[in-house]
Amino acid sequence: MRPDSILTLSCPDRTGIVYRVSGLLFELGCNILDAQQFGDEESGRFFLRVHFDRAASQALADIEARMGTLAAEFQMDWQLHDARRRARLLVLVSKQGHCLNDLLFRAHSRQLQVEIAAVASNHDDFAALAGSYGVPFHHLPVNADNRDTQEQQIIDLVERERIDLVVLARYMQILSPRLCKALAGKAINIHHSFLPSFKGAQPYHQAHARGVKIIGATAHYVTEDLDEGPIIEQDVARVDHAMTPRDLVRLGSDTESQVLARAVRRHVEHRILRNGHRTVVFR
């Protein structure tokens, strides 16, 4: 089987980008398996994702060197990824386990091509759940006095376990600017889509009291701006008058789990490119 890779890039839009990239891959004996592109008139930038394979005798370093020269000419921000490598995840969770449970099952059943290297939590509620999947669990309690130390433990865990992506699976702690910077571009959060209307505790109960007809979930990259990072994935579910607050919590939990799983999948398949405060997400 020929090894395959994924090339992602963005650059100022101009003619000839696809021609030059595809021509380079052809010259190096590579075969394009899939390609998606988008030119954004508003930002004036061009985005490209190319999935290709190559002969086993063709060194990836040669492709990287040639791409480096081309990238300099076109002012490209680019990355080359091993398409077969499973991303290593650290999942952070607090006392709501629906998203964690969903991710563990999807990873175990290979519905997600990831390896959950560790689960960490400020509570110990889900140690047994993680253990049932053979995933190491780290109990990292946090309070006002030890927050800096606890966050350094998270950073150390990311480095020690060679983590590619940190997933905040209903981790109910506000990350410091220092931790946000340390995880920039490789941390995804999930929350309900009521913000800013229903803040604080029991948002689904607040929504029920107001008689909402649609609930939803948003997955986004973590930034220093709380819950305002670039959005990756969203979805909604209909609500009717007969539903109780518990029904809304159940429906919302399902929606959150599905949205987070889709966001993780898009990230580990290298389908997301940043476009300022927005994202380009190739399907």
User: Which residues does the annotation mark as catalytic?
Assistant: 227
Closest CA to 92 of 159, 138, 145: 138
Indicate the SS3 state at residue 227. Answer: coil
Residue pair 80/49 in contact (Cβ under 8 Å)? The answer is: no
Residue pair 103/93 in contact (Cβ under 8 Å)? The answer is: no
Q: Indicate the DSSP class of residue 10.
A: E
Distance CA(156)–CA(161), nearest Å, equals 8
The tokens of 17 are what? 């980008």
CA atoms within a 13 Å half-sphere pointing along the CA-CB vector of 206 = 12
Residue pair 45/28 in contact (Cβ under 8 Å)? The answer is: no
Closest CA to 221 of 267, 171, 179, 255: 267
The tokens of 61 are what? 């370093």
> For the chain, how far is it from start to end, CA to CA, in angstroms?
25
